[in-house]
Each structure stands twice: as structure tokens, then as C-alpha cells.
Amino acid sequence: MHRIQKIMSMLGLVSRRDAEKLIDAKKIRINGKFATVGQKVFINDIIVYENKKYVITNKLINTQIQLLAYHKKYGEIVTKKTIQTNNTVFENLPKSDSRWINIGRLDVNSTGLLLFTNSGDLAHKLMHPSSGIIRTYNVSINRVMNKSEINKSLSGLDIGNREVGRFHKIKYKKRDNIYEVSLMTGKNREIRRIFNTLGFRVTMLHRIKYGDVSLDALKPGKIRYIKSDTSNLFFY
């Protein structure tokens, strides 16, 4: 049978690395007792994490890693449903034996491509800064950038909170009057903060690509499964 760290990843709860930290902090129980790192988990064992029970079944053990693309609509929130929020992206995702994990975020005013997986390990790999995964966006701002402003956005800017923001690439699409920008990091609201630092106001932010996965013709509010053999994706 599998070790507890792998089971936590298979449940879509956390990565194996994060599971080890939670075990050391005594945040996970197996059959009423605190779990230990490397402990084996068997069919019908009960795991308790964050006051929720998870019964281990054959169906869970045999669950395949899944990765799907979703076209986030304007106004949707990338969070689990709570009393305060009822317009979440998770309402439009298919049911799963394990939990869907969002790979990165888009703020409520942004639209476009979001990736979800049921694997904590895969989510960790795709979001970790060392992955070098490029995220690409179409952005509208309130005026055209000059050469100096473009160079500053590429070389790096102090965007507050002791963080430096920079675009990996930036291209002006004159016909559509939008900028195509790409990032290799996933700092909170990084694109908006870069433009705000330069004195611009972002009027539209739309993610069109994450690594090798493109939004393409996927309609708002709809999903598309990515090939199940995620090992063929360049970022995995």
C-alpha cells in the first residue's frame, strides 16, 4: 500500500513535501492516531485532515492523475464555496473522487485560462518558481507604453512588499491595441502591480497560455481535459 504522503497527494489535498510538514506538525491522523512520515495506509483506513474524514478505497488508489483547462469568466472567484462567496470557478468543475487543486490564480477581474489537477504533487511542480513555466496574457492598459517604460518592465521593478516584478517578454499588438506579456513567476497580481508602478491602469487582463497549454477556442465557463499522460507535457 502507499505511504501517507502519497495518499495526501492522491487525495488532491497537498503535495508529498507539504504532507511531511503537516505530519511533523501533527496535523494529520490515521485511524485516530497522529500519522508518522512514511507510514503505510491501507484500504478502509480513515485519514483526518482539517476536521474532514477521508476513507481510503480501491477506487481512490486507482485514480489517474487528471489535468484540465478551464476558461474563467469575469467576476468568478478562484476559491472554494463559502457562505460569503457563491460565484466560484469550482462550481463549474466536474465531480471527482479527490479534490481539484487550482494551479495558480486569477483575480476576480481577470479572465482566461486556469489549470486544475487532482494531484498535489503535480500542482506543486507546476506552480513552483524553479519550474520556469511561462504564463502568457493579453493586457489592455489606458495608454501606449514608450521604450523606456518597456525596458523597465523587462529589467525589473520594485512592486512593493519587498518584491521585484518583471515581464519575461512583452509585445504590442497594434491592430488589437493590447499587449501580450509573459511571466516566469506567479507573484500575487504581478502584472497589475508592474503596470501600476509604471503609472498605468489595467483595463483588461486575460490569460491565454500556461506552459504548453493554450486557451484556444475554449468558451467561458467550459472545461477541456488535457491528455491524461501528463509526463508528455514539457513542464512535468
Domain with CATH 3.30.2350.10 in the chain: 134-210
At 91, give phi and psi (nearest 5°): -65, -20
Which element (helix H / strand E) includes 125? Answer: helix 120-127
Residue 124, pLDDT score: 86
Q: Are 197 and 159 in contact (CB under 8 A)?
A: yes
**Confidence (pLDDT) at 119:** 87
Residue ranges of the chain assigned to CATH 3.30.70.580: 67-129+214-232
Q: What is the pLDDT of residue 231?
A: 41
Cell of 199: 503609472
CA–CA dist 29, 146 (Å, integer): 57
Distance between CA 193 and CA 6 in Å, rounded?
37
| Residue 129: φ, ψ to 5° | -55, -30
Angular region, 221: left φ>0, alpha ψ -120 to 50, beta rest: left
213: nearest Cα among 201, 202, 224: 224
At 232 the pLDDT is 47
pLDDT at residue 131, as a whole number: 83
Classify domain 67-129+214-232 by CATH number: 3.30.70.580
pLDDT at res. 60: 76
By annotation, the residues acting in catalysis are 107
DSSP 10-29: HTTS--HHHHHHHHHTT-EE
Q: What is the pLDDT along the chain (236 residues), one digit of tens a residue?
A: 799 999 998 888 888 999 999 999 999 999 999 999 999 999 999 999 999 999 998 877 777 889 999 999 999 999 876 556 668 999 999 987 678 999 989 999 999 999 999 888 898 888 887 788 999 999 999 999 999 999 999 999 999 999 999 999 999 999 999 999 999 987 889 999 999 999 999 999 999 999 999 999 999 999 999 975 544 443 43
Q: What is the CATH number that goes with domain 134-210?
A: 3.30.2350.10
The confidence score (pLDDT) of residue 81 equals 63
| Spatial distance between the Cα atoms of 118 and 170, rounded to a whole number of angstroms | 32
Domain 4-61 has CATH 3.40.50.720: no
C-alpha cell of residue 62: 486507482
Tell me how far apart the alpha carbons of residues 186 and 64 are, in angstroms, rounded to a whole number. Answer: 27
* Parts of the chain belonging to CATH 3.10.290.10: 4-61
Q: What is the pLDDT, as a whole number, of residue 63? A: 77
